[in-house]
Chains A and B, each alone.
Chain A
Amino acid sequence: MTGQGEGAARRLTIDILRYNPQDPESRPHMETFELDEAPSMTLFVALNDIRDRQDPSLQFDFVCRAGICGSCAMLIDGRPGLACRTLTSSLGERITLAPLPFFELIGDLSVNTGKWMRAMSERLEAWVHSDADVDLTRLEARMEPELAEQIYELERCIECGCCLAACGTARMREDFVGAVGLNKIARLRLDPRDQREDADYYELIGDDDGVFGCMSLLGCQDVCPKELGLQTQIAYMRRKMLRAALFPG
């Protein structure tokens, strides 16, 4: 970690977009907080400090503080990112925080990504489709370690919503499934337990709300806190879905 230099304690000014949709009196406005920077301070630590000492009504989400739960995603100086993974030392003395766009606002920096993710998963039927009988008393079918590794790589998505907030396409066309949705299909497509064919996946993502709606702006690729290869996955799915359309059956 960097930014722990001697005598480097800065005074941070943090502008936060405040708004509580539950309160009819509330209007969106920027509120400025000041605090002393501590060594190795993350935005997650800074926000807790503000809530503890300055304003207990400040709303923001966090669970794991280790970049695993994906609940602290927000716009940091305009770019989507995880508060718990962002060191204040990587930012200027004046920091602007705003809730992720695209998702339903709960209040201040807190948004309801879960609601959207659930709807998307249902729409894309993002679960293993199999009519094989599961015998719980038996060992699971074996899988090549390389394949398991590949699936695991895509499974690392934490559904934080950064890819959608960074996506110009999703911002313009709200029905777009986004990188998170396309990544889910790419992951299930790899899974030998899922019995669906490309033609079936085409029914789910083979339109302008799916993979062919993606305009390759690559905002998703450039902000993904888990550094997933979204550019590669989307391009791969685009080629596979094109093939499914051109050569059906």
Chain B
Amino acid sequence: MSKTSELSVGAALIGRRESGRWPARMDFLQSASGLFLALFLWVHLFAEASILLGKDAMYRVTIFFEGYYFFGEKYPIIITLFSAFILAFVLVHAVLAVRKIPVTYRQYRVLRDHMKVMHHEDTTLWWVQVYTGFALFFLVSVHIYTMLSQPANIGPYASSDRVVGEWMWPLYVLLLITAVVHAAVGSYRVGVKWGWLPARDAALGRKRLKWLMRGFMIFFILLGLASLTTYVRVGLEDREPGERYVPTWERTATETGARPEVTP
């Protein structure tokens, strides 16, 4: 063998070793990106639930994320940048997860028949992931695009107008349910996949994790629906079109509805 061909064989072998590490990295990245997105979703749902504490509370949360408490000024561009960051995670997660979905009719048929005779909960849960994941491709895209393009239109009135006036509420109901289910089931599956369980005994850990999964699903769907209903209620209030919310502490006496003192 000549020196050059030896070298190229060596390079190919090194290349193979390198590419051989990707299945491990991809499997881990799929779990890690999913877990990060689930955590983000839960924080997001709490943040938007601030409307349940009143319009001022939601206003405070909005300007917090716009950097007001750090820079003394509101920068909606932060929302755009963060949305792009989340979008990147969604893309990575989707690309990695899509590898596992049945791609041919044969695979699809075999899996469906298998599920039909097995009646096996965890297999069915994975199928739930396939469906919700597929739906999220479309639902999340719309939502993130809105956040990328109109970062300044977040607030007690602006968000409510989007929900009601721009007819986003049906999409948000679907997005809420699919995202919460996908995140809860996914987190459970990450737990059993890597053996990160809330008990030493694997069977007990799995059982507990499944209870947590159900609890998270119910809690966050209820929380999300409560928030969404509140935004709908605010959106239905009688207001000037495009009016922005002014927090109580910035209002003049007339705006707060207090009777102006009239000096005789």
Binding site for B on A (CB under 8 A): 75, 78-79, 101, 166, 168, 171-173, 202-203, 206-208, 210, 212, 214-219, 222, 229, 231-232, 235-236, 238-239, 241-242, 244-246, 248
Q: List 28 A-B contacts (CB under 8 A).
A: A75-B117, A79-B119, A168-B123, A171-B111, A202-B24, A206-B21, A206-B23, A207-B23, A208-B23, A208-B99, A212-B24, A215-B126, A216-B193, A217-B126, A218-B122, A219-B118, A222-B120, A229-B202, A231-B195, A231-B206, A232-B202, A238-B27, A239-B194, A239-B195, A242-B24, A245-B21, A246-B21, A248-B17
Q: In this assembly, does B25 line the interface, its C-beta being within 8 Å of a C-beta of chain A?
A: yes
Cβ–Cβ < 8 Å partners of A171 in chain B: 110-111, 114
Q: How far is the CB of B161 from chain A (nearest CB, A)?
A: 43
CA separation between A235 and B111, bound complex, in Å? Answer: 23
Cβ distance A35 to chain B, nearest Cβ, rounded Å = 23
Does the CB pair B122–A222 fall under 8 Å?
Answer: yes
Instruction: Give the residue name and chain of the A residue nearest to B126 (CB).
Output: A217
Q: How far is the CA of A119 from the CA of B150 in the complex (A)?
A: 58
> Whole-angstrom distance between the alpha carbons of A248 and B117 in the complex?
43
Q: Tell me the complex Cα distance, A218–B120, Å.
A: 9
Number of interface residues of B (CB under 8 A): 32
Interface string of B81-119 (1 = CB under 8 A from A): 000000000000000000110100001001100111111
Q: Point out the residues of chain A lying under 8 angstroms from B192, CB to CB.
A: 216, 218, 231, 235
Interface core residue of A172, A212, A219, A238 (most chain B CB under 10 Å): A172
Q: Decide if B28 is an interface residue (CB 8 Å cutoff).
A: yes
Q: How far is the CA of A218 from the CA of B195 in the complex (A)?
A: 12
Closest A residue to B117 using CB positions: A78
With A172-B111, A212-B27 as contacts: A235 and B194 at CB distance below 8 Å: yes
A236 — nearest CB in chain B belongs to which residue? B195
CA distance A245 to B115 in the complex (A): 33
The docked-state distance in angstroms from the alpha carbon of A134 to that of B153 is 77
* Contact, CB under 8 Å: A242 / B123: no
Q: Contact: B20 with A238, CB < 8 Å?
A: no
Contacting pair B26 A219 (CB below 8 A) = no
Instruction: Give chain A residues whose Cβ lies under 8 Å from the Cβ of B100.
Output: 215
**A168 to B117 CA separation, bound complex (whole angstroms):** 12
Interchain nearest-CB distance for B210 vs A (Å): 11
CB-based nearest B residue for A207: B23
- A242 with B27: CB separation less than 8 A: yes
Query: Shortest Cβ distance from B53 into chain A, in angstroms?
Result: 39
Complex: A14 Cα to B20 Cα, angstroms? 49
Q: Which residues of A contact B25 (CB under 8 A)?
A: 245-246
In angstroms, Cα B118 to Cα A219, docked, is 9
Cβ-defined contact, B24 with A168, below 8 A: no
Q: Which residues on B sit within 8 Å (CB–CB) of A231?
A: 192, 195, 202, 206
Contact present for B21 and A219 (CB under 8 Å): no
The one of A168, A215, A229, A235 in contact with B114, judged by C-beta atoms closer than 8 angstroms, is A168
A166 with B195, Cβ < 8 A, contacts A172-B107, A172-B111, A245-B24 known: no
Determine whether B189 belongs to the interface, using a CB cutoff of 8 Å to chain A.
Answer: yes
**Residue on A with the closest CB to B124?**
A217
Other A-B pairs, 8, CB within 8 Å; known A216-B189, A242-B28: A168-B111, A172-B102, A212-B24, A215-B100, A238-B194, A239-B194, A246-B21, A246-B28
Question: Which residue in chain A gives the minimum CB-CB distance to B27?
Answer: A212
**Chain A residues whose CB sits within 8 angstroms of the CB of B21 once the complex forms:** 206, 245-246, 248
| B120 contacts across to A, CB distance below 8 A | 79, 166, 217, 219, 222
Task: Establish whether residues B119 and A78, one from each chain, have CB atoms under 8 Å apart when the complex forms.
Answer: yes
CB neighbours of B110 from chain A (8 A) = 171-172
Taking the closest CB of chain A, its distance from the CB of B48, in whole angstroms, is: 31
Provide the bound-state CA to CA distance between A239 and B197, in Å.
14
CB distance from A19 to the nearest CB of B (A): 16
CA distance in complex: A246, B195 (Å): 18
B123 engages A217 (CB within 8 Å) = yes
Contact string against A for B residues 5-48, beta-carbon threshold 8 Å, 1 for contact and 0 otherwise: 00000000000010011011111100000000000000000000
Contacts of B202 in A (CB 8 A): 229, 231-232
**Contact partner of B195 among A208, A222, A235, A245, CB < 8 A?**
A235
* Residue on A nearest B116 in the bound complex, by CB: A78
| Cα(A232)–Cα(B192), bound, Å | 8
A43 smallest CB distance to B (angstroms): 17
Please state if B118 and A238 are interface contacts (CB–CB under 8 Å).
no
Looking at the assembled complex, report how far the CB atom of B70 sits from the nearest CB atom of chain A, in whole angstroms.
35
